[in-house]
Amino acid sequence: MRAHSEGRPVMKPAMVGLTLATALVLACDFNLTDPNSPSPLGPNATVDQVRSAAVGTLVALRVDFPRWVLNGAILGREGYRLDTADPRFTTELLHGPLDPSNDAFGGGQWATQFRTIKSGYGILNVIGSAKLDTNAAKNTAAINSVRGYVHTIQALAFLMVLNSHTEDSIPIDVNHSLPSLAPLVTNDSAYRHVISLLDSARTELQAAGTAFPFDPGPSFADFNTPATFLKFNRGLAARAWAYRASPFKPGANCAACWDSAAAALGASFLAPAASLDLGAYISFGTGNQDTPNPLAQAPGSAINLVHPFIKDSAEFQSGSTTLRDRRFLARVTARPDTFSLACLSSALSWIHYPTPISSIPIIRNEELILLDAEAQWFKAVPNKLQAVADLNTIRQTSGGLVPTTVTAASTDSVFINDLLKQRLYSLLYEGGHRWIDMRRYGRLSQVKRDRPTGCAATKDTVSDKVFSTLPINSFEVQARQ
């Protein structure tokens, strides 16, 4: 991975999905004057005020990214957290009950995201009067660039909520003040909203100038102009269209959506010949007021461990009977011993985030190539040869593997088998992708259940289960009673 260089926020018992929160933390090199308490954006905002508010929307999301990487990995059995100080990682997250009042054990992927969305509206509602340039035309272009940026980050936040909730209970109309409560809508309506936000942002970015009136920061080092940021926007749109197209919840089994996904990919930063790590990242740092990546750990004493099946299922590289998939080797290392707790064991540690300044991907070129394989296979007029070529690009370039056995004549099931395996290793420990993928293709029953009869050592008689969704955050539920 290129060099871009868990926390657990306490939720306040308020209408967390619908309240405007402005507490932000500093991102690496963002240089915000007062990152933890930025002034509310008002009419006639200056460049510095807009910069602080706009960059702060992404900074707010950073709180939840490491936690979701870890919890998503546990839910999809990419790994465990064998923490002697907190057994809930081996009880609640593996067999339940999930706790909707606790961000780390069931109630997450909600409060932080809606704070970000509401903060975005705090910008959008007043940006029209901002004074970003003395030239009227350039000022209008700059305002459009801010709108495009904010709408894109809002869409990312909504998509994070959708990734973890399948209950047809997502509030989307949140641009209003308390005590109004937005109605809960279906997953498909929420996906439509995400795509609408991204499309609005596309129009705004196309009407922007050649530069943002602020530096989007290291997360978007490759997408720091309106034109290049639009390519990131289209990558997110492709993901949203593909998820909406998927046959199982929270997807809508929308066949036509595959063509839309393919079109979005055509306007994205997808580039088979470019670095597979090209993409947008959540950045971390160790400087004053900055936040280190809490997933960094010493492999020999790690408690965030890799599920043994990740090694067992990894193919050998082409021409070797000893070297596993390069993607596996880049993310996983052997521990000096086997660590066991609560009838779970692993001799493998994560090394995907080796230092406190290691970045977490938002979306990478590698994912776009695999999304293209999916879209090309399932679109109205399939290009299955291109889908196979995409699989081979990833298998051979990223994994060092032999070409796929999938052909244009293969069944959908055979194609999906290899697609999901490549997505597993390409996106391993980057954001719950395996759990999301197995769910959207109706394969959660294939996810490992390590303790089918409980754990005698801990006198726990509850068998493991694989959840299909996180519960709605309890404070959201209480606000509606």
CB atoms within 10 A of CB 44: 9
Q: Is 350 helix (H, G, I), strand (E, B) or coil?
A: strand
Q: CA separation (Å) from 175 to 168, 203, 274, 383?
A: 20, 20, 39, 41
What pLDDT sits at residue 37? 44
Place of tokens 């298998």: 395
Res. 91 pLDDT band, cuts 50 70 90: very high
**Dihedral through CA 24, CA 172, CA 170, CA 20, nearest 10?**
30
- Residue ranges in 427-457 assigned as alpha helix (H): 433-440
- Contact by Cβ (8 Å): 156, 193: no
- CA 412 to chain centroid: 26
Q: Is 267 helix (H, G, I), strand (E, B) or coil?
A: coil
Across 449-465, average pLDDT: 97
What pLDDT sits at residue 479? 85
Distance CA 417, CA 349 (A): 26
What pLDDT sits at residue 10? 32
Report residue 105 as tokens. Answer: 């054990």
Res. 60 pLDDT band, cuts 50 70 90: confident
CB atoms within 10 A of CB 36: 12
pLDDT digits over 67-81, tens only?
999 999 999 999 999
The residues facing 455 across adjacent strands are 460
Q: Are strands 332-341 and 170-171 parallel, antiparallel or unpaired?
A: unpaired
Res. 201 pLDDT band, cuts 50 70 90: very high
Place of tokens 């926007």: 233
pLDDT at 32 over 80: no
Q: Which residue has the higher pLDDT, 203 or 27?
A: 203
Place of tokens 């993409």: 279
- Contact by Cβ (8 Å): 420, 438: yes
Query: Which percentage of the chain shows pLDDT scores above 70?
Result: 91
Res. 63 pLDDT band, cuts 50 70 90: confident
What pLDDT sits at residue 8? 31
Across 327-336, average pLDDT: 98
Distance CA 424, CA 197 (A): 28
In one letter, which amino acid is 209?
Answer: G
- Domain positions in the chain are 299-360
CB atoms within 10 A of CB 206: 12
What pLDDT sits at residue 179? 62
Report residue 239 as tokens. Answer: 């993901």
Sign of CA dihedral 44, 49, 54, 58: negative
Q: Which residue has the higher pLDDT, 119 or 30?
A: 119
The radius of gyration of the chain's CA atoms, rounded to the nearest angstrom, is 22
Q: Which of 29-33, 42-46, 108-112, 341-345 has the lowest mean pLDDT?
A: 29-33
Report residue 2 as tokens. Answer: 């290129």
Side-chain-side CA neighbours of residue 216 (13 Å): 24
What pLDDT sits at residue 40? 66
pLDDT at 3 over 60: no
Res. 178 pLDDT band, cuts 50 70 90: low
pLDDT at 398 over 80: yes
Distance CA 369, CA 268 (A): 11
Q: How many residues does the chain have?
A: 481
- For the chain, how far is it from start to end, CA to CA, in angstroms? 47
pLDDT at 21 over 60: no
Distance CA 59, CA 21 (A): 13
Across 214-227, average pLDDT: 95
**DSSP string spanning 73-134?**
HHHTTSEEE--TT-GGGTTHHHH---BTT-TTTBT-SSHHHHHHHHHHHHHHTTGGG----S
Q: What is the pTM of this model?
A: 0.92
- Contact by Cβ (8 Å): 18, 181: yes
Distance CA 430, CA 361 (A): 6
In one letter, which amino acid is 337?
Answer: D
Task: Report DSSP state, residue 445.
Answer: G
Across 321-344, average pLDDT: 98
CB atoms within 10 A of CB 296: 19
CB atoms within 10 A of CB 453: 12
Report residue 391 as tokens. Answer: 């699989």
Across 381-405, average pLDDT: 99
pLDDT at 390 over 50: yes
Distance CA 49, CA 41 (A): 7
What pLDDT sits at residue 26? 32
pLDDT at 5 over 70: no
What pLDDT sits at residue 39? 56
Distance CA 48, CA 41 (A): 10
Distance CA 248, CA 438 (A): 9
Report residue 405 as tokens. Answer: 């056995």
